[in-house]
Amino acid sequence: MSDIFTIFFLILVGFCAVSAFTTYGLGMYAFAQNPSSAVNRLFLAVTLSATCWAIGEFLFWHSAGYEGSLFWLRASSFWVFVAVFTAHFTLTFTNHPLARKNKRGILLVSLYLPALLFTLLGLFTDQIYTVTLQPGTGYVYLSSAGPISLAAKAYVSLVMVWAVYAGISSWRRVRPGRIRRQNRLVGIGTATVVVFGALSGLILPTFGIYTVNLVFIGIVVFSLLIAHAIHRYGMFTLSPQTAVPEILRTMPD
């Protein structure tokens, strides 16, 4: 293993650790602002699932043997739910019609049931990812050959593109102000995650490059943008779902 590769590897693994800390901290902070808000609860689900995924990725690349690598790969199978929670959070945060209570069945069928299926397949089978020994690198995980792995990638890609589209559409639709700025940062952050995720999940493997998932770089950038939105624009204390109830609660009788 060359010195350059070693440094690059340590940097990417470091992003896994940083991602775990930042997402956990942001999620707990947002939830504490208003635990009864659906937006805040969904953001907590996004961040906690991303935290667990980052920890699993970190431990995978620190595993010395095949069994340990396989264990942490299987333990990270719920990564699909990161995409699902992100899409659901974006729809709810932007007040999309599909986020309404009477549309929960649509979200259950289109988002959560497929995610559960792919998670179980990843947890108990090798139909989505497999562990193999890469000369000069060590144990890496590769996409399995077959329709199930392709379906999982296509599903996650569509979900994340849907989330980005919902965020950008809401940003363009909302009048200038704090909410518009919040939506813009959410859309940019989600798009950043998609770009870095596509690099590791779709682009680099076609060139035979298998390394630490670059998506955690995107997650760190996303976390920084959300932190900026919290500090500058009152995100999670002022949102489309929390602004009106808060005003009504504080108005004199």
* pLDDT tens figures, 128-142: 999 998 877 788 898
Other beta carbons within 10 angstroms of residue 105's beta carbon come to 8
φ, ψ for residue 133 (rounded to 5)? -90, 120
> pTM of the prediction?
0.88
Helix (H, G, I), strand (E, B) or coil at 210: coil
Domains, in order of start, for the chain: 3-250 (1.20.1070.10)
Residues ≥6 apart with Cβ < 8 Å to 26: 43, 47, 223, 226, 227, 230
Give the tens place of pLDDT for each residue, 145-187. Answer: 889 999 999 999 999 999 888 888 888 887 877 888 888 888 8
DSSP labels for 30-69?
HHHH-TT-HHHHHHHHHHHHHHHHHHHHHHHTT--SHHHH
pLDDT of the residue at 146: 87
The residue whose two tokens read 């980052």 is 54
pLDDT of the residue at 238: 55
pLDDT of the residue at 252: 52
In order of 123, 169, 182, 200, 224, the CA distances from 238 in angstroms are: 39, 19, 9, 35, 18
Give the tens place of pLDDT for each residue, 203-227. Answer: 888 887 888 899 999 999 999 999 9
pLDDT of the residue at 246: 46
Give the tens place of pLDDT for each residue, 68-93. Answer: 999 999 999 999 999 999 999 999 98
Nearest Cα neighbor of 115 from 45, 217, 175, 56 is: 45
142 forms beta bridges with 130
Q: Is 90 exceeded by the pLDDT of residue 121?
A: yes
For residue 128, what is the DSSP state?
S
175 CB burial (10 A radius; 0-12, 13-18, 19+): exposed
Give the amino acid at 78: F
Q: Is 70 exceeded by the pLDDT of residue 253?
A: no
